[in-house]
Amino acid sequence: MSNQCIVLVGMMGAGKSTVGKALAKHLSWEFTDTDHLIEHQTGVSIPVIFEIEGEAGFRRRESTALASFVGKERQVIATGGGIVLAEENRALLKQIGSVVYLSASATELYQRTRLDKNRPLLQGPNPRKKIEELLANRLPLYKECADVVVETGRQPVYQIVNKISLALELGQKIPPTEQKATGTE
């Protein structure tokens, strides 16, 4: 594996931010969450962007944020769940580096996100059904982009980091004495 970036894709609640931070620390690389980058650039939260600009406006900002990583090295990037919707983004993902799809079942995703009010797409009357619909629509796109697929399930973060490291041939496993993280997002 080169020093290219590692980009984490997957549904909201799959663990991209949590795993991304742990993976970046393990590799001594930088970590960036594209949603946080957009919030920092705009000075407002993702729900406010959705309210003012709609989903289309947010997706344009997301594409711009993603494009900023082309040519960068040694970064772990957690993306928004819908980043794969735009064909141009799917092409950019491959240019940026290795793409890891963090997979989780609709039930797990619902359990992890059900109380989170910062998820604009889940603020309707039936968030569980919305997750199932989003996952069904996005799953082929995640798989199309992914160099590696890792099921997050109910395993500790360090195990997920180890699986990614081994799959991408990034080096040593995290020794048991350093395994401090115990859950996913």
Domain ranges of the chain: 5-172
CATH of domain 5-172: 3.40.50.300
CA dihedral sign of residues 51, 31, 158, 180: negative
Task: List the binding residues for Mg(2+).
Answer: 17
Tell me the per-residue pLDDT of 91-134, one tens digit each, with 9 for 90 and over: 999 999 999 999 999 889 888 876 666 666 667 778 788 889 98
Task: List the binding residues for substrate.
Answer: 35, 59, 81, 138
**Closest C-alpha to 83, from 141, 20, 4:** 141
Confidence of residue 183 (pLDDT cuts 50, 70, 90): very low
Coil/strand/helix, residue 70: coil
What's the Cα-to-Cα distance from 83 to each of 3, 21, 52, 70, 174, rounded to whole Å?
23, 19, 19, 15, 30
Task: List the binding residues for ATP.
Answer: 13-18, 119, 155
Q: Which tokens hold the place of 81?
A: 């769940």
Task: List the binding residues.
Answer: 13-18, 35, 59, 81, 119, 138, 155
Does residue 172 register a pLDDT over 90?
A: no
Tell me the per-residue pLDDT of 7-52, one tens digit each, with 9 for 90 and over: 999 998 899 999 999 999 999 999 999 999 999 999 999 989 989 9
Integer Cα distance of 185 and 168 in angstroms:
22
Tell me the per-residue pLDDT of 125-169, one tens digit each, with 9 for 90 and over: 787 888 899 899 999 999 999 999 999 988 899 999 999 999 998
